[in-house]
Amino acid sequence: MINAIIFSKDKACQLELLLRSIRRNTSNLFDIKVIYEASNGVFNQGYEKLKEETFYHTKRDVNFPVRWHERTEDNISLDILNILNEDRDLTCFLSDEDILFSSPPSYREILNLFREKPVTSLSLRLGNNTIIQNPYSAKDYFIDKPRTGEFLFDKFLFWNASDLKPFTNFAIPFSSHGHIHTTKLVKFVLEQTKISSFEDFEKSLQDNLYIGAFGSLIPPYMACLEYNVLITNIAEKISDPKPFDYGTGALPIKIGSEIIAQVSNSNTAINSATDAVFKPEVPNSTTEVIATNTALTLGAVANPTQGTGVLYANVFYRVLTVGKDF
């Protein structure tokens, strides 16, 4: 079996989906240990309920045990080392944001890869079908993929991660999203790395790797399946956790250089149905008649004092054709 260490903070529901997906798509592959953290009693109740459910699963199915460990250390590396089973050759890290949607290779196939090649990590999340690096950035949208490498055992892609742009998906051997390593390697790097939070797992290890903290003992090679079997859904990206401060000014709406409407600042959300409506049916001047190809611009004299955000504007218009109605 492979050590499977799952990180979870305040996401018992998402964690349940991951555990269900593992149960459905693997058979006696992972020895599962969950390191969890609850910000308050409400989140902790979710974990207690999930513990009960997995306990009854374990009683009925000895091939799917789940062991629970609440985070106790400031340095998460110590939490991991305290529960790491060094008798198992391989260790996989997972997050409560992951879902295993298809069956991974067998333990024998995975172990054979590590025995035949100097692989730092085998990723279950990467594959030929992985093309997006950051869906929230136009500049870094597409991924930097390996252009050279080997195809091993009709199953695994193998490449030199140091040939790729640092901190991109195919150049990050240490990840908490479905990366498998030798247990000896895991023990070695964690003993030399302080990790303050689950979110810092990847960055802390990668920073140490890039500055040479591990010496030359880490092979630059990574591997993945031809097509991935795991995806990651980061829930925090759905919304901005910080409120947007519109400042102390107002937002003018202009046609050309003339202000035709103005949105007052209330430090709350703007209702576009009522706060920013302009209907030039009866123009006050000839400049309010919008000519063809005239730019409609938004200018602001607000003075934000905190937070960041993006203002989106929807402009609806209809073109007047002589002799016809709108």
Could you report the per-residue pLDDT of 242-265, keeping only the tens digit for each?
A: 444 444 456 666 655 556 566 555
Put residue 293 in one of left, alpha, beta given phi > 0 → left and psi -120 to 50 → alpha.
left
Domains and CATH numbers, the chain: 2-238 (3.90.550.10), 241-326 (no CATH)
pLDDT tens column, 171-188: 999 999 999 999 999 999
Task: State residue 139's pLDDT score.
Answer: 76
User: What percent of the chain stands above pLDDT 90?
Assistant: 57
286 burial (CB, 10 Å; 0-12 / 13-18 / 19+) is exposed
% of the chain beyond a pLDDT of 70: 69
How far apart CA 320 and CA 326 sit, in angstroms, is 6
Higher pLDDT, 229 or 281: 229
pLDDT at 312: 53
pTM: predicted TM-score of the whole model, two decimal places: 0.71
Checking phi first, is residue 128 left (phi over 0); if not, alpha (psi -120 to 50) or beta? Answer: alpha
| 175: number of Cβ within 10 Å | 23
Please write the tens of the pLDDT for every residue from 66-124: 999 999 999 999 999 999 999 999 999 999 999 999 999 999 999 999 999 999 999 99
Give pLDDT tens digits for 120-162.
999 999 999 888 777 767 777 777 888 899 999 999 999 999 9
CA 265 from chain centre, in angstroms, equals: 34
Average pLDDT of the segment spanning 286-314: 54
Report the chain's mean pLDDT, rounded to a whole number. Answer: 81
